[in-house]
């Protein structure tokens, strides 16, 4: 006879939501990285189009993770309410996400296809490489914070 599963708490559902958002953003980052490593010589327009589409997807995934004043309660909101001592770290994680989202939007504007402006693929690769590193650092800090406050892991099970 098997045991009944432990009842789920509202935090479990909120953590599932964050996991899904993180999975979407990580997939978008992988698509960006895949587009970046494609050869650019003699295919500049195709390369730039792929990178642009991938950056758009990453930007949308990051924006979806931003807290909204009129949005539903999110995991970090719940942690802030139940563990006020984490408030400063939560605000920093949220600010990091906002800064990252702005950086991706700025890069998207930089690579906007314009035949009069020469886009250097090496420069785009370098800038997006920096964004990728910041993205991973943000996800690690967020995961550490959530685990410390709730003992819940945000990585895939």
In a domain, 138, yes or no: yes
In a domain? residue 155: no
Residue 55 tokens, joined? 């950056």
Q: Confirm if 15 and 75 have CB atoms less than 8 A apart.
A: yes
| pTM of this structure | 0.88
Q: What averages of pLDDT result for each successive group of 10 residues across the chain (157 residues)?
A: 70 91 95 91 85 96 92 92 95 97 94 77 92 96 95 78
**2, part of any domain:** no
Domain contains 93: yes
Q: Which residues of 40-55 are buried (b: 16+ CB within 10 A; e: fewer)?
A: beeeeeebbebbbebb
Residue 112's pLDDT is 80
Whether residue 97 lies inside any domain: the answer is: yes
Q: What is the pLDDT of residue 72?
A: 87
Does 3 reside within a domain? no
pLDDT of residue 101: 97
Distance of alpha carbon 76 from alpha carbon 82, whole angstroms: 10
Number of folded domains in the chain? 1
**Is residue 130 in a domain?**
yes
In the chain the first and final C-alpha atoms are separated, in Å, by 25
Domain assignment of residue 81, yes or no: yes
Q: How much is the CA Rg of the chain, to the nearest whole Å? A: 19
8 Å CB contact between 107 and 55: yes
Name the DSSP class of 85.
Answer: G
Domain interval for residue 118: 10-150
CATH code of the domain containing 18: 1.20.120
């Amino acid at each position: 006879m098997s045991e009944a599963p432990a009842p789920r708490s509202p935090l479990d559902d909120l953590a599932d939501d964050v996991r899904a958002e993180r999975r979407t953003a990580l997939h978008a980052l992988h698509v960006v990285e895949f587009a970046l490593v494609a050869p650019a010589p003699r295919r500049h327009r195709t390369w730039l189009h792929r990178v642009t589409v991938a950056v758009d997807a990453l930007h949308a995934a990051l924006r979806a993770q931003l807290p909204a004043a009129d949005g539903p309660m999110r995991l970090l909101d719940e942690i802030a309410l139940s563990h006020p001592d984490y408030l400063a770290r939560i605000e920093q994680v949220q600010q990091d996400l906002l800064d990252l989202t702005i950086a991706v939007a700025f890069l998207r504007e930089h690579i906007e296809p314009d035949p009069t402006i020469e886009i250097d693929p090496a420069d785009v690769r370098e800038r997006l490489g920096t964004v990728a590193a910041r993205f991973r650092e943000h996800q690690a800090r967020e995961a550490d914070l959530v685990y410390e406050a709730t003992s819940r892991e945000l990585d895939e099970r």
